[in-house]
Chain A
Amino acid sequence: MRGRTPHRRGAAFIAASALVASMGLAACGSDSSSGGTPTLTWYINPDVGNADASKGGQATLAKECADASGGKYKINVQLLPNSASDQRLQLLRRLAAGDSSMDLMSVDPAFSTEFAAAGYYAPVPANLEAQFKEDRVQSSVDASMYKGKLVSVPFWANTQLLWYKKSVAQKAGLDMTKPVTWDQLIEAAKQTKTQIGVQAKLYEGYSVWINALVASAGGKIVDNPGATYQDIKMGLDSAAGKKAAEIIRKVTTSGVAGPAVSSSTETESLGLFDSKSGGFLVNWPYTYGALAATPKNDVGAALYPRVSKDEESKPPYGGIQLAVGKSSKHVDAAYQAAACITNLKHQTDYMVKSGNPASRKAAFDDAEVKKAFPNGIAALIRTNLDNAVPRPLTQYWGDISTALQQRFSPPQSVNDKTPASTQKFVLDVLKGKALL
């Protein structure tokens, strides 16, 4: 084009060649037919530092493990997109095409089952299984299983806490040392004219909330997660499902969820909590470090809110599993690398640097971790993780989640008929009788 200075053109050329070069790397990341050290490709989700190995993220672990392997393997890190759905798409496409560069993947547990059911994972070596389950919080092991077999490696585990402003809780007369219920929160927020931050935009985070409510009410969205689409049984149309719908409606229609609840993700809800009118928030542990305006000594964390007074809450489970692709040319090396990446030292380092909690229990007793998550938050995350319930481990979770979000949107219009109609819709979709 005219009007482009040579300098700009040079920059564009460099950018383009960098892009092409990186694609080339991705394409032949694991091609090490030249002998010598096999190069593993590890597809990582964005974290602190992303592909920069000096920031303590997954790229750093990759480098440390490759150095420690004594020349057994090298690891080349490839960055996946930001959103969980886009990550799933990219991995799914490559796995379905039998891409041999899928040596190591950081997979969101919500979609891991789908890949396992499709037979995209290389089986976990029997001699490493004990090591991969060692000292892990139960929810992370649950999320790595498919049909009673370990199919991926628990790496880091995530859960949501209830965050509150001590001043607001005090004003409302809430005793936060004891478990609180959603009803109490709504009352407290009304009374103090503050807001509760939740995630109710049409996206995966909304399904996370819905699932946590159903589970906390003692129900299950899917009764038999391993079943095929002909035999799947759902438990959304139940007392627990109705209870969850009721809470969603209460929170979003009583004016305590902020002005833009139907478009709020983690970021927006955190912003709401961080503003003057914020009082309470359910969100992941990164919240503590991300708050900018609220004085840290006013921030408290508690167990995830209960649905009913005398039943323990079931917080959402998130995090990342490591998986090895079936078409990988270096399955053994990849599992060795996974063992190194998920050892105690690396999980602890990773938790401190990235703020993503470890799946190993021992990491929570580490002094550095306690410093990174002060005021007992580290211990609280562990307790929450012990109670956490993963999203239904069914290969159809992607569809079920999308259907849930659609039928429960906008959140203000949810009523006691929503669970039943959603359940019917999901079953229709899975049987190919309705479009999603």
Chain B
Amino acid sequence: MSTAAPATATETRPTKKAALSDRAKGERSLGWKLAGPAFVVMLLVTLYPIGYAIYLSLFNYRLTDPAGRKFVGLQNYITALGDPLFHEAFMTTIFIVVVTLIFELVIGFGIALLMNKVVIPRRTLRTVVLIPYSIITVVSAFAWLYAAQPDTGFINHWLHTLSFGAWNENYDWFGGRWSSLFIICLSEIWKTTPFMSLLLLAGLAQVDGSMEEAAKVDGATWWQRLTKVVLPNMKAAIMVATLFRTLDAVRIYDNPYVMTGGANKTNSLSMLVGQETVGRVEIGMGSALAVLLFLLVLIIAGIFVKGFKVDLTGGGRS
């Protein structure tokens, strides 16, 4: 558990590269033999489509017009990056990511603390908390859609009652961009907070109780214990949770698709890819957008791994 161990490892690594002992060589070749086939299959399954998409993105190519296929180089990327619709979808996606992430982290952490403290009925509580996460996203999207619609929904009805009639009972949630996004974010938060809280709970469980006790004895307040002891010790868990959630949210599709279908400027990037590729069968432009989305995901993952300075393979301590 000493923090010096990884440091020495990194120092000796370059010299290790120079000469491998016979045993290490044997180990390595055995490792390749064991994992090789799976690795090749994985490459075929993932790398080939990715490469094909990159190749296709250099063409102006419509599936229903194979004769009109034309090599255009990076024109699709230039068009996409300069297009107001792309900017709109990008902003919408980032908005959803930021808003949902903040709320999910805070609420999820609260639930994790609760689950960590509660002893009786721990199992039941964890099951109940997980229910929203176990519901298929499309189903939950429809549930929220019906809840928010003026004719079938109860949200307006309740707001109307709770505000003593000040709230318009026929308010059209999906009539405007921000009100639509509000419901979309709400349903996202409701659905994926359990996932966050579960990951954070795993992190909380790792925190050494004796440290907390020591801090308590030293007279630290609850807030100080949380920020100085608990949070630093579960950095890896927080990073995993936020990274997973961000990458998930960046690719959001089903929720806005079901609720608005992209009306009122609520298109997400994934929906844009879907519209171009599936709806308009513009395979070239669709692939270019898909590649851009892929790059965005890579960049975000890179920023996280660099920013958090956590070595995920090194037992969660840096």
What residues make up the interface of A, taking CB atoms closer than 8 Å to B?
85, 89, 92-93, 96, 114-115, 117-118, 120, 202, 228-230, 263, 395, 398-399, 432-436
Contacts and interface: CB of A to CB of B under 8 A. Distances in A.
B275 A436 contact: yes
Given A89-B278, A398-B280, A399-B280, A96 B64 contact: yes
A12 to B, nearest CB: 14
A114 B64 contact: yes
The 5 lowest CB-CB distance pairs between A and B, nearest first, are: A118-B64, A435-B85, A435-B83, A432-B60, A96-B63
A115 B64 contact: yes
A434 B83 contact: yes
B53 to A, nearest CB: 17
Nearest to B88: A435
A228 B66 CA distance: 12
Contact of B65 (A85, A93, A202, A395): A395
Contacts of B79: 432-435
B263 interface: yes
B282 A432 contact: yes
Nearest to A428: B79
A203 to B, nearest CB: 10
Contacts of B60: 432
B75 A228 contact: no
B258 to A, nearest CB: 14
Nearest to B282: A432
B287 to A, nearest CB: 12
Contacts of B279: 85, 89, 398
A322 B172 CA distance: 40
A274 B80 CA distance: 46
A118 B263 CA distance: 29
A435 B68 contact: no
B102 to A, nearest CB: 29
Contact of B86 (A120, A230, A399, A435): A435
11 contacts: A93-B278, A96-B63, A96-B281, A120-B64, A202-B263, A229-B68, A432-B282, A433-B79, A434-B83, A434-B85, A436-B276
Nearest to A115: B64
A117 B79 CA distance: 26
* Central interface residue in B64, B79, B279, B282, by most chain A CB within 10 Å: B64
A92 B64 contact: yes
Given A202-B263, A434-B83, A228 B76 contact: no
Given A96-B281, A117-B65, 7 more contacts: A118-B66, A229-B68, A230-B68, A263-B175, A398-B280, A434-B85, A436-B276
Interface in B35-66: 60, 63-66
B285 interface: yes
Given A228-B68, A398-B280, A399-B280, A435 B285 contact: yes
Contacts of A398: 279-280
A395 B64 contact: yes
A398 B275 CA distance: 12
Contacts of A263: 175
A435 B64 contact: no
A117 B68 CA distance: 11
A263 B175 CA distance: 9
A228 B65 CA distance: 9
A85 B66 CA distance: 22
A132 B208 CA distance: 82
A436 B280 contact: yes
B194 interface: no
Interface in B101-157: none
Nearest to B127: A2
* Central interface residue in B63, B278, B281, B285, by most chain A CB within 10 Å: B281
Contacts of A432: 60, 72, 75-76, 79, 282, 284-285
A395 B68 CA distance: 12
* Central interface residue in B76, B276, B280, by most chain A CB within 10 Å: B280
Contact of A117 (B64, B76, B175): B64
Interface string B67-87: 010001001100110010110
A412 to B, nearest CB: 14
Contacts of A118: 63-66
A435 B276 contact: yes
A399 B280 CA distance: 7
